[in-house]
């Protein structure tokens, strides 16, 4: 099943997009996002996709500060790029998530992307380009310090790439490898992610 798009009509502002996003009646388990001003609906991730997310989360849980959380369904907003994404993992301070509705432009349904310390996207077969192109541009634009892309559908076999040092809409590649390679996340994480057990696509 491929991702669907919802026609929101011309001239819609950010508040209109968010309202459409909040009111989109998608099947349970589907992911509804706004990508470059278009509301998209993607099918629920596969078992192997979820397995990779869990293996990453388990490693990160051991090293993050006590007042940070790891979230699998937390939406992050980049209004200046008409984007509202639901990464596979978001690492952010718990206080940010708890206080999101009271912050400027806050909502009980999302946080501002710049509050995230790390976002992780794991590609799915039918919408991998979003994770490779559109979303990293949005995360970089918001100033998210680290973006980890697990590309299970990369040409030549699954890869894992760590991006950092955001400037404007662009990240620098900090490290890249294939499944089986260790990927070092710098401070404040300072951990080598073990990818040996990541299942292939």
Cα distances (angstroms) measured from residue 201 to each of 122, 123, 161:
11, 10, 16
pTM score, two decimals?
0.91
Q: Residue 87: which of 77, 95, 100 has the closest Cα?
A: 77
Q: pLDDT tens digits for 112-123?
A: 999 999 999 999
Task: For the beta carbon of residue 106, count every other beta carbon within 10 angstroms.
Answer: 15
Cα distances (angstroms) measured from residue 138 to each of 125, 144, 155, 189:
21, 9, 23, 22
Instruction: Quickly tell me which residue has 């690492």 as its tokens.
Output: 91
Check: CB of residue 194 under 8 Å from CB of residue 175. Answer: no
Residue 26 has pLDDT above 70, yes or no: yes
pLDDT bin (cut points 50, 70, 90) of residue 99 is confident
Domain at 46-193: CATH code: 3.90.1570.10
Task: Write down the domain spans for the chain.
Answer: 46-193
Structure tokens at 17: 């997009």
pLDDT bin (cut points 50, 70, 90) of residue 1 is very low
Please provide the average confidence, as pLDDT, over all residues in the chain: 91
Q: Residue 77: which of 38, 53, 29, 109 has the closest Cα?
A: 109
């Amino acid at each position: 099943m491929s991702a669907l798009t919802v026609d929101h009509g011309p001239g819609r502002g950010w508040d209109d997009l968010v309202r459409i996003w909040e009111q989109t009646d998608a099947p349970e388990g589907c992911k509804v996002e706004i990508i470059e001003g278009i509301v998209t609906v993607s099918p629920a991730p596969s078992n192997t996709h979820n397995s990779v997310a869990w293996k990453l989360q388990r490693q990160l849980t051991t090293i993050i500060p006590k007042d940070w959380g790891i979230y699998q369904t937390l939406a992050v907003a980049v209004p200046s790029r008409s984007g509202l994404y639901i990464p596979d993992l978001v690492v952010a301070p718990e206080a940010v998530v708890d206080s999101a509705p009271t912050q400027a432009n806050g909502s009980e349904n999302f946080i501002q992307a710049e509050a995230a310390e790390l976002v992780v996207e794991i590609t799915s077969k039918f919408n991998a380009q979003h994770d490779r192109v559109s979303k990293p541009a949005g995360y970089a634009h918001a100033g998210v310090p680290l973006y980890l892309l697990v590309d299970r559908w990369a040409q030549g076999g699954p890869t894992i790439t760590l991006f950092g040092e955001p400037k404007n809409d662009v990240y620098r590649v900090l490290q890249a490898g294939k499944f089986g390679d260790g990927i070092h996340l710098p401070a404040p994480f300072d951990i080598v992610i073990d990818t040996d057990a990541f299942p292939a696509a």
